[in-house]
Structure formats: structure tokens, C-alpha cells
Amino acid sequence: EEEKGEDDGELDNQWSNEPQSRHPALLCNQEKPFNAEPPPAILTGDFHTPNDLFYVRNHLPVPPRVDPKEYRLEIAKETGIGEGVEPIELSLEEIKAFPVTSISAVVQCGGNRRHSMASYKPVRGLSWKGGAIGNARWTGVRLCDVLKHVGVSGGNYGGIKHVQFEGLDADAMGSCYSASIPIETAMDPNRDVLLVFQMNGEDIPIDHGYPLRVIVPGAVGARSVKWVSRIVLSTEESPSIWQRRDYKLFPSNVDINNVDYESSEAMQDMPVQSAICLPIPGSTVDISSGFVTLRGYAWSGGGRSISRVDVSINGGKDWSVAKLHSNESQKPNRVWAWSLWEATVPVSACTGQLDIVCKAMDSSCNTQPENVESIWNFRGLANNAWHRVSVKTANNI
């Protein structure tokens, strides 16, 4: 999650596989590796975020494009566990022979909204505003079907505790991106963990993991490994820094100088979240109609739905309930998609500034914290404090 320094020139060729063009509206947080988010204002336009506007969070250079005919997914296991499990290599064609399914699911960076967490106290990491989140229609096969096929079964899964995913993206030393999820999450059909080859009905774009990526709905984006090429069934979590170090939350008195990385568990599921996408912060809003319209997104991890979004235009003194758009029905306990919301709030003509706030509640009655202070952590992760946007008003701009 931390910013890496730019490459040193000698290794320039490791960046030769970056896409030739990326959408010009993407706001770049870092060039190498490429990290960019759309302006939040565009997110409320579509229930499914367009592929070319979906935030890109690369931890390493984009890997060479794989010939889909040559691609193989290796499934391996540590010795001594998973009795009856047969290591295997699967071609794309063989993967697509499993029952194919599609789900709408949000992927959100653990650092989404980090920018405003830094307003309290500096944090380490890319300064994402509210756009490091998107909702897409993912098409693929169930990881649990594939793992059952190779022989994973039984009450304790033959001692397998974690499923590690390795990407084709690697650093100059050849060390690849990797992350893991608990075997229970991987094998639970109701968790809908997928091996995905299509995003919004198209081959998955190179920036999003062509030809195959993992989608772990409800979890932090870092577990949805792109360009996945190897799955390791293990007694341990992935040894990568992205599992053992970077995506962990610590108390507010811990920083880079005194952190004990083993004292905290790796982030998996994400908390309830919401943000205002429109109006744009600092803009001037026409209130001659006597109303102002607010739009945004709300989502919760772990399959929980959004039960309510409350909005205020006077900093939280008075609240109204936003209308949730139900673009697509989701299954109970498996609500992976977001809820886009809209609220039209009466505003007095003499109001000079609107201090807009939003906060959501999820189906488990969880709420967002009022301020970043109480959840501040030195990596700036999982910022789900009430979202605040201030705008000026005008009559007939």
C-alpha cells in the first residue's frame, strides 16, 4: 500500500507492458506502478462502473500480456496437507468448462478515502480520494468448484488453512504479488469467490488482470489478485508484504517506528462505507429551485446490504434519508454490489455554504464513525468516517 520510489532507469523495460492508453479522466496518484482513480462524480452515473474508468491499483509493473492459449493456472499444495488433493495445471479452456456464473460486486482499495484520513495526522500510502472503488459485473467460475475438483473436501479440508494467490506481476527481483484468504471463505459457496475472465461483459482488461483474476467479494481489494497464475493451498497465509504487513490496522499510537506487524490480523472483509459524489467539493451549487440534489455510493463488506443512508446539508444538525437505487436484486446475505443513492434536500435561499455529510448503516446495524480521529491508523486504511463535502451556493449561476 505504500508508495514505492520511481524505478531507477536501468529497469525501465519492466514498464514496457503498461497499456498504451488509459482513460484521460483517470486521476493519477502514481505513474509507476500505475495507480489512478476516476473523479468520484462519475461513479454515480452507472450501477456498473465502466471498465476504462474503474480505478487501477497496481502494486508492481503490469506483466507481459499472456497468450490465452498458452495460459495455465497452477494449483499447488504444501507437502503434508490436503490428502487426496492432486496438484494440477488448468488451461483457460479447462477453467471455462466449470459452471460459469456472473455477479455484480464492488472492489474497493483498502486505502480508499485515505486522503481525508491524512487531514487528521499524516499517513503512509497513496492519497486516494473517494474513487478507489467500483462496482462491476464479474463473470467467471467458482473457486470452490475448482478446489473441489482438485480434491479439497472434508470438515477440516485436510489441514489446509489458507488459499494463496500469486499474480504474474513481479518486481525486478522476480518476486510476485501475492495474497491469501482463509480456506473457509474460499470453499463457502455463499461467499461467491470467483476466478474471473470477464468484466462487464468484456475480456478482463490488462490493467484489471487479463486473462484471469480472483474476485473475493466483500473483502479488501488486495485479496482479489489480478493476473493470477498460481494458487497454493497452505497452512499459512501468503508470506507477501501485502498479506503480512501492508493491509493491517493498528491503534493510533502505533506508527512505522514501533509497529509489530504480527500483532494485527490481515484485513479481509471491509466495513460499511458511503461517500458523496455530487456535488463536487468546493464547487458552487445553484439553489434557485429551493433544493439541492446529492448523489453518492454506499456499500458494506461481507455480503451485508445497505439499510439506510442519511444525509445532511448543515454539517450533521438535520438529517434526511436518501433514496437507494435498487438497480439489481442481490441475494440475502450475499449483497456484493453497492447501492447508489440520491437525495433532494430543501435549502433556504440565504444559505451561503452547504456542509454536506453522509453516513450509512448496513444490514448488521453497523454504522460509520463520525470522525477519522477514532479510526486513524498510520497506513490510512479502511477510512469509513462520515463523508463531508463543502460547497458554495448561488441563485441562477
Q: Any contact of residue 360 with a second copy (CB under 8 A)? A: no
Among 43, 222, 232, 267, binds Mo ion (CB under 5 A): 222
Interaction of residue 277 with a second copy, rule CB under 8 A: no
Verify binding: residue 190, a second copy, rule CB under 8 A. Answer: yes
Q: Which listed range, 12-20, 54-62, 168-176, 302-310, lies at the site for a second copy (CB under 8 A)?
A: 302-310
Min separation Cβ 35 and Mo ion, Å: 9
Q: Is 184 in the site for a second copy (CB under 8 A)?
A: yes
Binds 371: which of Mo ion, a second copy, none (CB < 5-8 Å by kind): a second copy
Q: Per CB under 5 A, which region of 162-170, 222-230, 262-270, 300-308 contacts Mo ion?
A: 222-230
Cα 300 from Cα 264, distance rounded (Å): 22
* 344, amino acid identity: T
Residue 251 binds which entry of Mo ion, a second copy, none, with Cβ cut-offs from 5 to 8 Å by kind? a second copy
Looking at the Cβ atoms of 131 and 221, the one nearer to Mo ion is 221
Of 6 and 318, the one with the shorter C-beta distance to a second copy is 318
Q: Does 110 bind Mo ion (CB under 5 A)?
A: yes
Cβ pair 325, 339 in contact under 8 A:
yes
**Listed ranges 34-42, 46-54, 100-108, 244-252: which one lies at the site for a second copy (CB under 8 A):** 244-252
- Would you say 110 or 167 has its CB closer to Mo ion? 110
> What is the spatial distance between Cα 363 and Cα 340, in angstroms, rounded to a whole number?
16
Q: 310 is in the binding site of which of a second copy, Mo ion, none (Cβ under 5 to 8 A by kind)?
A: a second copy
Task: Pick from 118, 249, 259, 347 the residue near a second copy by CB under 8 A.
Answer: 249
Q: Which three cell numbers stand for residue 174?
A: 522476480
Least Å from the CB of residue 112 to Mo ion: 8
Q: Which of residues 115, 129, 359, 388 is near a second copy by CB under 8 A?
A: 359
Cβ contact 51:205 at 8 Å: yes
Please tell me the count of residues contacting a second copy according to CB under 8 A: 47
Site membership for a second copy, residue 23 (CB under 8 A): no
Q: How far is the CB of 132 from Mo ion (least distance, A)?
A: 7
State the binding partner of 289 from a second copy, Mo ion, none, CB within 5 to 8 A by kind: none
Q: Say which residues have a Cβ less than 8 Å from residue 6's Cβ, sequence separation at least 6.
A: 31, 32
In three-state form (DSSP H/G/I as H, E/B as E, the rest C), the secondary structure along the chain is CCCCCCCCCCCHHHHCCCCCCCCCCCEEEECCCCEEECCHHHHCCCCCCCHHHCCEECCCCCCCCCCCCCCEEEEEECCCCCCCCCCEEEEHHHHHCCCEEEEEEEEECCCCCHHHHCCCCCCCCCCCCCCCEEEEEEEEEEHHHHHHHCCCCCCCHHHCCEEEEEEEEECCCCCEEEEEEEHHHHHCHHHCCEEEEEECCEECCHHHCCCCEEECCCECHHHCCCCEEEEEEECCCCCCHHHHCCCECCCCCCCCCCCCHHHCCECCECCCEEEEEECCCCCEEECCCCEEEEEEEEECCCCCCEEEEEEECECCCCCEECEECCCCCCECCECCCCEEEEEEEECCCCCCEEEEEEEEEECCCCECCCCCHHHCCCCCCCCCCCEEEEEEEECCC
Question: Could you tell which of Mo ion, a second copy, none binds residue 379, using a CB distance below 5 to 8 A set by kind?
Answer: none
Query: Judged by CB under 8 A, does residue 83 bind a second copy?
Result: no
In this chain, which of 1, 237, 246, 310 binds a second copy, going by CB under 8 A? 310
Contact between residue 18 and residue 65 where contact means Cβ atoms under 8 Å apart: no
Residue at grid coordinates 451561503: 352
By CB under 8 A, tell whether 367 contacts a second copy.
yes
Select the binding partner of residue 120 from Mo ion, a second copy, none (C-beta < 5 to 8 A, by kind). Answer: none
Q: Which stretch binds a second copy (CB under 8 A): 9-17, 195-203, 317-325, 341-349?
A: 317-325
Which residues sit at the interface with a second copy, rule CB under 8 A? 182, 184-185, 188, 190-191, 249, 251-253, 264-265, 267-272, 300-302, 304, 307-308, 310, 318-319, 321, 331-334, 359, 361, 363-367, 369-371, 374-375, 381-382, 384
Query: Which residues make up the interface to Mo ion (CB under 5 A)?
Result: 57, 109-110, 221-222
